[in-house]
Chain A
Amino acid sequence: MNHITRTVRSPVAFSVLAGVVIGALFLVGTGADPVAAYGAVLGGSLGADGIGATLTTLTSVLGLALALAVPLRAGLINLGGDGQLVLGGMAAAVTGLYCPLPAPLTVVLALLAGMAAGAGYAALAALCENRFGVPLLVSSLLLSYPAASFASWLARYPLKEPGSSLPQTRQLPDGVALPRFGSSTVTVGLLLVVLAAAAYWFTDRRTAFGYEMRMTGLSSRFAAYAGVERGGLALRLMAVSGALAGLVGAIGVLSFPYRFLDGSLTASGYTWTGLTAALLAGAAPVGTVLASFFFAVLQVGGLSMERTTEVPRELTQVLQAIVIVFLAARLRFPRSPGLTRLFRGRDTEQTPQTPQSPQSPESPQGELA
């Protein structure tokens, strides 16, 4: 019972509710019926016609949410998901096009190549912080732009499909594709991403590495005293993060339209949706899955809302951001020491209270009475 009230009163429930209410105000403002619009969101995303699209979207959103949750668990924010995603997709496309092995092996190799490319590029951002002192938040974001430009250049010049007017590579050979479930657009990629979520859950709950990660996130200073080497941890977490983002890119290329099309991987803004989901869940494994599903529903449902009520689907993007605004205003996430420096004055309140005075942390004098 206590558990339920705590969940209902938590900032997460509050901010989701606030987002839905403010979204309804927007709907009323544009002259639409909020009930009909939200009904269209749910019907369009969870109904028989929409569930396939929702699960396809979930594959990307969950994969990127996991990619961003892994470093966030330790208080690190990876803003370079777009670059890692695109490089992963490009690596998978190149492997798929030029690997001489049989198709099933090529698919596996392409997935691995995508993960390796993403991991390497994300690790580069961590090295920038460890070696050169450039904060990860900034190094990961700045590295993202050249990566996207590089992949765009590859798709436009050296690897461009001859005769095509689109900036895209040739189509992958027959059979070099992820198997699909029946006649739907859902591929085995969803399974891979769900497996990754399970692995994240296990690591987070049951392993020493997961403990180090959570400890660093809760108090990086305490973790440092306990012997966690922050630079190494950041490097490993970023590599995992990049690998997951690269995996999503590879899955994207190995699904319809089975090629690398410049801009198609990043057009839907899944990286930002993933970051939003990871933030909403506080990077907790199960929460990340739930939040990803919520945002996948919103994203797909937004399209059918636009069809039935003529409210632009961008409203769902507004709704997403509002949820995070409310959440951030009420919650604090652990952050890296480089940024903590800027908040020195106020960080003191985050320091865990000594167990001697759990009843009245506000007034230690209470004990004297």
Chain B
Amino acid sequence: MFFDSDLLMSALRALTPILLAALGGAICERAGVFNIGLDGMMLMGCFTAVATSWFTGSPWLGVLAAALVSAAYSLILAVGAVTLRGDAVVLGIALNLLAVGLTSFLLRTVFGVQGTFDDPSLAGLPLVGGFSPLAYLAWAAVGVAALTLSRHVWGLRLRGVGEASDAAATLGVSPVRYQYGAVLVSGVLCGLAGAQLALGNVTLFSENMTAGRGWIAVVAVMLGRALPLGVLLAALLFGLAEAAGFRLQGLDLPQQATDAAPYVVTLGALFLTTARRRRRTPSPAPARPSPPPSSPSTSTSTSAGAVS
């Protein structure tokens, strides 16, 4: 039996960190901030969760600290991309690199070890009904995010800011405030994702332990079209790929094949969804951006100058 309830259970366990991070990414995307720093924010969460749990003995404080520290870390993206209007793609890459460097540096200065910090007395999160408490939180967050985005006035304004920030601003909605809010929420969610990874899935911290999960979350946002339920389905797909990978290792397949499986599945899923979307829209123009809103205004200003 390959596909059984066991596989589904382990898939559900594997998907929690990706789901939490991808939800954060989806909220940012809806607010018009392209967030590819999810991986770095998660990694900061991992380290903070382990360090706090180690020094206080309480994994719950670890979860709380991870959420706070990742939120503070995400402020770099908010300030850089929203206030200073820097390039969010480059900022995201920089955040990922900074997190790798910073956590490796702190691992050596705080714990005095290199590579992995692993101790039997490090307290992890308890299981409730077979799942980490953060897994329930993640599922609840999907519902809350879906309802808020589609029904609540905050969600409406957030989407308005993402789709046409100038129009939102004329209606008295502050794009800056909503974009900051979205980035901070993604920081909190990534912090929880990191805590789940380092205190739930395993109980240790190792250098670069997110291993590209934040990037998979970025792809999950694309696959799920930034809809909370779509993101849930995409995360479930990766969870299944990861769980199936573990299962395949039992079948004497080389570990390298199972390591590569989630990425190949991801790419395949992207092919399928984008191909279907293209067939539905008859003009496959390669994502040509719409004419800039500024061109009419510049033309009017020059004609005004000509009149005077």
- Residue positions of A touching B, CB distance < 8 A: 26, 30, 77, 79, 128, 130, 132-135, 137-139, 141-143, 145-146, 149-150, 152-153, 156-157, 221, 224, 230-231, 272, 275-276, 279, 312, 314-315, 317-322, 324-325, 327-333, 335, 337-349, 351, 353-354, 356-357, 364-365, 367-368
Complex A-B: 10 CB contacts under 8 Å? A128-B267, A142-B270, A150-B256, A327-B94, A331-B86, A337-B286, A342-B34, A343-B88, A347-B292, A357-B301
Hey, which chain B residues are within 8 Å of A324, CB to CB?
Answer: 90, 93-94, 97
Q: Is the CB of B85 within 8 A of A349?
A: yes
Pair B263/A146 contact, Cβ less than 8 Å: yes
Contact of A142 among B34, B267, B308 (CB under 8 A): B267
Task: Decide if the interface of chain A is mainly helix, strand, loop or mixed.
Answer: helix
A160 vs chain B, min Cβ distance (A): 12
Structural contact, A340 and B256, CB atoms closer than 8 A = no
Give 19 A-B pairs besides A137-B36, A346-B85, A348-B294 with Cβ atoms closer than 8 angstroms: A30-B109, A128-B271, A137-B89, A138-B219, A149-B256, A150-B256, A152-B256, A153-B254, A272-B97, A275-B93, A314-B108, A321-B102, A325-B94, A328-B86, A332-B86, A344-B293, A348-B293, A364-B304, A365-B301
Chain A to chain B: the 9 pairs with minimum beta-carbon distance, closest first: A317-B101, A364-B301, A321-B98, A329-B80, A328-B90, A153-B256, A345-B165, A146-B260, A324-B94
Q: Which residue of A lies closest to B83 (CB)?
A: A329
Q: Are B87 and A368 in contact (CB under 8 A)?
A: no
B residues in contact with A150, CB < 8 Å:
256, 260
> Which chain B residues numbered 263 to 308 have a C-beta less than 8 Å away from chain A?
263-264, 266-267, 270-271, 274-275, 277-278, 286-290, 292-295, 298, 301-302, 304-305, 308
Chain A residues, Cβ within 8 Å of B80 = 325, 328-329
B215 is an interface residue with CB less than 8 A from chain A: yes
Q: Check if B128 is an interface residue, CB within 8 A of chain A.
A: no
Q: Please tell me if the beta carbons of A134 and B165 are within 8 angstroms of each other in the complex.
A: no
Are A338 and B219 also in contact (CB < 8 A) when A318-B102, A321-B94, A364-B301 are? Answer: no
Give chain A residues whose Cβ lies under 8 Å from the Cβ of B264.
146
Whether B164 and A364, one on each chain, are in contact in the complex, defined by CB atoms closer than 8 angstroms, is: no
Instruction: State whether the Cβ of B156 lies closer than 8 Å to any Cβ in chain A.
Output: no
CA distance A312 to B270 in the complex (A): 40
Query: Quick one: which of A145, A156, A325 contacts B91, CB cutoff 8 A?
Result: A325
Task: Tell me whether A314 and B289 are in contact (CB under 8 A).
Answer: no
CB distance from B282 to the nearest CB of A (A): 14
Minimal Cβ-Cβ distance residue in B for A323: B94
Q: Does B6 contact A (CB under 8 A)?
A: no
**Does B105 lie at the interface of the complex (its beta carbon under 8 Å from any beta carbon of A)?**
yes
Chain A residues near B118 (CB-CB < 8 A): none
Q: How far is the CA of A348 from the CA of B296 in the complex (A)?
A: 11
CB distance from A144 to the nearest CB of B (A): 8
User: Given the complex of chains A and B, what is the CA–CA distance between A312 and B108 in angstroms?
Assistant: 7
B55 to chain A minimum Cβ distance, whole angstroms, is: 18
CB contacts (< 8 Å) of A149 on chain B: these are: 256-257, 259-260
CA A364 – CA B294 in complex, angstroms?
13
CA distance A138 to B216 in the complex (A): 9
Give Cα A146 to B175, complex, Å.
40
Question: Chain B contacts of A353 at CB under 8 A?
Answer: 298
B257 — which chain A residues lie within 8 A by C-beta? 149, 153
Question: Given that A152-B256, A341-B287 are known contacts, is A317 also in contact with B97, CB under 8 Å in the complex?
Answer: yes
On chain A, the residues within 8 Å of B11 by CB distance are none
For B55-90 the 0/1 string (1 means CB < 8 A from A) is 000000000000000000000100110001111111
List of B residues within 8 angstroms of A317 by Cβ: 97, 100-101, 104-105
